[in-house]
């Protein structure tokens, strides 16, 4: 299925892009992160990230659907 990914902060720097559309066999964020972390060389362990699907925070086992927009959130530093 096709998934749209948005990247922020150091993940965008490392990926060299702020978004991409991927055709993936991953069915949940856990597997999807393993796939893209390998490809882009992301150093964050999943424990340090949060995941959002379609602009809402979800768990790592959330079932992905075709057309979903997924964001892996590195630790935040607002304020």
Site size with another protein, rule: CB under 8 A: 31
Contacts to another protein from residues 1-30, by CB under 8 A: 6, 8-11, 13-14
Residues in the chain, total? 79
CA–CA gap between residue 63 and residue 51 (Å, rounded): 12
* SS3 call for 4: strand
Residue 38 is a binding residue for another protein (CB under 8 A): no
- Closest distance between another protein and the C-beta of residue 28, in Å? 13
Q: Quick check: helix, strand or coil at residue 33?
A: helix
Give yes or no for residue 32 binding another protein (CB under 8 A). Answer: no
Radius of gyration of the chain (CA): 12
Among 36, 51, 64, 70, binds another protein (CB under 8 A): 51
């Amino acid at each position: 299925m096709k998934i749209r990914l948005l990247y922020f902060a150091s993940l965008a720097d490392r990926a060299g892009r702020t978004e991409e559309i991927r055709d993936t066999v991953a069915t949940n964020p856990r597997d999807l992160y393993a796939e893209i972390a390998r490809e882009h060389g992301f150093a964050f362990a999943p424990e340090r990230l949060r995941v959002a699907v379609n602009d809402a925070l979800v768990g790592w086992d959330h079932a992905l659907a075709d057309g979903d927009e997924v964001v892996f959130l590195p630790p935040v530093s607002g304020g």
